[in-house]
Structure 1
Amino acid sequence: MQSSPSTARSEAHRKAFDVVGLYGDPSVAWSIMLVAELHAPGSPDDYRAGLAALVAKSPDCGPPPSWDVVDEDAWQAQLHTMGTRLYVETEPLVRGASTADGRFVAVAAHHGVVDGLGLLALMGALTGEDLRSGVRGVDPSSADRSSFLGNAVKHVGSALVRPPRRFRAVDPDKSRAGEWLVARNLPKGIDSSRLIAASCRALEQWGATGGRRNPVAVAVGASRRSGDAPAPDRDTVLLRLVGSDFTDPVTVRNQLRAATPEPDSPTTSAGGIGPLVAKALAGRLGSTVLVSNLGIIEGSQRIERLWLYPAVNGPCGVAVGSLTVDGKATLTVRVARRDFSSAAAERLTETFVQAIESVSAQQRAR
């Protein structure tokens, strides 16, 4: 028997909100977003129909997606709205938008609904293409068999004693809501080990809170499945590198190969205790930086560039996204407005770009 629309909607929202987990930051949107510039634009109506059709086939995506069409001069404001506004039970879990001329399109979704590959599937439905990623899935047999609760207790204990280093806040203002979404084009693609090494070099160049006693904690977004046939679902895993120095890409590559995925998030919020714990310890939980790399995207004849915006959380949290399409690589940096001014977010992004150049130059010299 099929569920009524209201029941299906409630269940989809429950799953999405609960999957954030025991120590997820309840104050952020947990929204991930993919933005495309097309050299062969289509009709906004066709974009909307393609996205809605795939969401309709995917019960966990919830109700029909929202859709907005704006002029190009309002595009950046639209991206901020759809990418950072909190999800509530009376609104869709998937959001889409385009410029009136069809040149730019975007899709955002709650991270409890899809992961990065799921987002790629939604973008493919929107543009009418079978987009694929070159990323390889994490071997399920390597997963940490300990319970999520036990692992969460371990993280809480570590956070109380030695919270991770953070990027130093610049011009913070707690009255500012939302996040800064900053994008740059890169001269060439970058693999995950070099992106992580560059992120840690950026931390050194920018300045960090905490001392050498406080570890660097890098969260790395990954998936159990490969990117050969993305689907609008969530099969994500989180790799976590914790140590004193991850600035060398060779060392990082070895650490990634040896890393054990974090245990799965629970399917409930622990009777409401999880969000309360997360809120009480918000100043100590989270990671130094979250890195998400979708690799090389194939299957498009229309897309000029793509930008991936992973979710950011935690105090002075920084999320970095990268991918390459048609030989064109991009970088995004996402930070909370409460921790950085607009100018500081731009400078921080330039610091990441310089760090990537440094890592690439070192690799060429070897």
Structure 2
Amino acid sequence: MGVAISIENAVKRFGKDTIINGLSLDIKPGEFFTLLGPSGCGKTTLLRMVIGFNSIEGGEIKVDQKVINNIPTNKRNMGMVFQNYAIFPHMSVRDNVAFGLKNRKIPASQIEAQVDEILKIVKIDHLKNRMPAKLSGGQQQRVALARAIVIHPEVLLMDEPLSNLDAKLRVEMRNAIKRIQQQIGITTVYVTHDQEEALAVSDRIAVMNGGVIQQIDTPKNIYQRPANLFVSTFIGLSNILSGKISVKNGETSIQIQDYTVPMSQLSQEVKDGQRIKVSIRPEEFIINQADGAGIPATVKSSVFLGITTHYFVALADGQEIEVIQNSDIWDIIPDGSGIRLAVQPQKINIYTEDGNKNLVVRRDQV
């Protein structure tokens, strides 16, 4: 079973620049926890603080309630997998994986068995005697992963481990990493800027921006109920429309242009006439005929992708949005056609005008 990690009011400065200011989060034992955000948001800085490569100027980092701020990196019992693999080119696969065990003075009689065991787990035991130059990118990444976990660390840290692989190999390796992590049950902190990757592997995700955590939640909740407009637009694709709240006779709805949508799950704090931002993912639209209910729009172009068809449409005010529909609903709508866009009220998200707060009340928070 893995260990718990607690970060309390962590501060990181580089000179006069404060990169992280009072960040707190808790990671559960055995959890696959991902730090996700755009480049420069502080996620790798935080990861390097956990392992000890970066100092901490304020707050505490605890592993199973033990403060590790001043413990040297080599005493923290953590394994790390880097973006560039960092395996030794002059050593065989076996010797690369055995390196950490030798540094820990593990008896030679035990090293062979431990190396063989971990190579089987990462499925490269048949490559034990091969040199890194003869390995593919995915195989090199498996060597780096095996070397990190063969020492039985309390925590596994991974910094953009798949970014150097091609698209097909990334999918293959992310599935392998998740399988291996579940098999060994190690607490894992994973850094990536790839939203799809984060959704695929994580138990929970912390979305970061500007050194600040915007939301910590499960992949499903992050995608379906983003906490604010930044998360909504960073995770997946969202169309953002302006609208306002209507409260009449105890019934609440939203208005987008001349289209009214009854909304039963909004916060009780909303007020009649309140300006809002409406976040609608492409698949949350329903296309109606031009004389039906919805927001008036014109089809500019379409892309047929087998199961789905992607429509690029323009609203009356010139705003362009994307709509995704199942291809078997009807024939592809010709370019230039007038349509109406209705929405699925239970799926869309409503934000304050500044985008800082989601006004939809989640079922698990009622």
TM class by smaller structure:
under 0.3
Judging by fraction of residues, say which structure has more strand: 2
Judging by fraction of residues, say which structure has more helix: 1
Higher relative contact order (CA 8 A, sep 6+): 1
Larger CA Rg, structure 1 vs 2? 2
